[in-house]
Amino acid sequence: MSDITLTTGIRQNLLSLQQTSNDLTTTQEALATGKKVNSAADNPSSYFTSQNLTDTANSLSALLDQIGQGSQTINAATDGLTGITSLLQQALSTAQQAQSASWTVAATATGSTSLAATPNVTLAAGTLTIDVGSSTYSVTIAASATLSQIEADINGTTGLGSNGVVTATDDGAGHLLLNANEPPIGFTVGASAISAALGITTNSTTNNVAIGSSSTRGTLQSNFNGLLTQINQLAADSGYNGINLLAGDNLTIDFNPTGTSALTITGVTFNSAGLGLSAVSGTAATSFQSDTQLATTVASLNAALATVQSQTETFGTNASTITTRQTFETALINTLQTGATNLVVADQNQESADLLTEQTQQQLEISALSIANDANQSVLKLFS
Element (H, E) at 223: helix 215-236
Nearest residue to 366 via CA among 3, 128, 10: 10
Higher pLDDT, 170 or 299: 299
The answer, yes or no, to whether residue 319 has pLDDT greater than 90, is yes
Q: What pLDDT does 114 receive?
A: 34
The answer to whether the 57-99+217-337 and 102-213 domains have the same CATH topology is no
Q: Which residues contact 159 (CB under 8 A, 6 or more apart)?
A: 135, 137, 165
- Contact at 8 Å (CB) between 340 and 54? yes
The answer, yes or no, to whether residue 85 has pLDDT greater than 90, is yes
Tell me the per-residue pLDDT of 187-215, one tens digit each, with 9 for 90 and over.
Answer: 433 333 332 225 223 333 333 333 345 67
Q: What pLDDT does 208 receive?
A: 36
Q: What pLDDT does 102 receive?
A: 57
The answer, yes or no, to whether residue 173 has pLDDT greater than 60, is yes
Largest alpha-carbon pair distance within the chain? 171
Q: What pLDDT does 180 receive?
A: 59
Tell me the per-residue pLDDT of 105-161, one tens digit each, with 9 for 90 and over.
Answer: 444 333 333 333 222 233 445 677 765 555 677 888 776 777 788 889 889 998 888
The answer, yes or no, to whether residue 60 has pLDDT greater than 80, is yes
Average pLDDT over residues 265-280: 96
What span, in angstroms and rounded, lies between the C-alpha atoms of 358 and 380? 34
Q: What CATH number matches the domain at 57-99+217-337, 3.40.50.12280, 1.20.1330.10, 3.90.730.10, 1.20.1250.20?
A: 1.20.1330.10
CATH number of 102-213: 3.30.70
The answer, yes or no, to whether residue 296 has pLDDT greater than 90, is yes
- Contact at 8 Å (CB) between 313 and 305? no
Sign of CA dihedral 268, 271, 277, 283: negative
- Contact at 8 Å (CB) between 285 and 194? no
User: Strand 176-180 to strand 192-193: parallel, antiparallel, or no bridges (unpaired)?
Assistant: unpaired
The structure's pTM equals: 0.62
- Contact at 8 Å (CB) between 50 and 340? yes
What span, in angstroms and rounded, lies between the C-alpha atoms of 254 and 261? 6
What span, in angstroms and rounded, lies between the C-alpha atoms of 244 and 20? 67
Higher pLDDT, 295 or 384: 295
What span, in angstroms and rounded, lies between the C-alpha atoms of 39 and 17? 24
Q: What pLDDT does 355 receive?
A: 67
Q: What pLDDT does 20 receive?
A: 72
Q: Residue ranges per domain, the chain? A: 57-99+217-337, 102-213
- Contact at 8 Å (CB) between 184 and 130? yes
Confidence of residue 26 (pLDDT cuts 50, 70, 90): confident
Q: What is the DSSP string of 305-371?
A: HHHHHHHHHHHHHHHHHHHHHHHHHHHHHHHHHHHHHHHHB--HHHHHHHHHHHHHHHHHHHHHHHH
What span, in angstroms and rounded, lies between the C-alpha atoms of 166 and 133? 12
Q: What pLDDT does 206 receive?
A: 37
Confidence of residue 235 (pLDDT cuts 50, 70, 90): very high
Q: What pLDDT does 376 receive?
A: 61
User: Strand 166-170 to strand 201-203: parallel, antiparallel, or no bridges (unpaired)?
Assistant: unpaired
Q: Which residues contact 44 (CB under 8 A, 6 or more apart)?
A: none
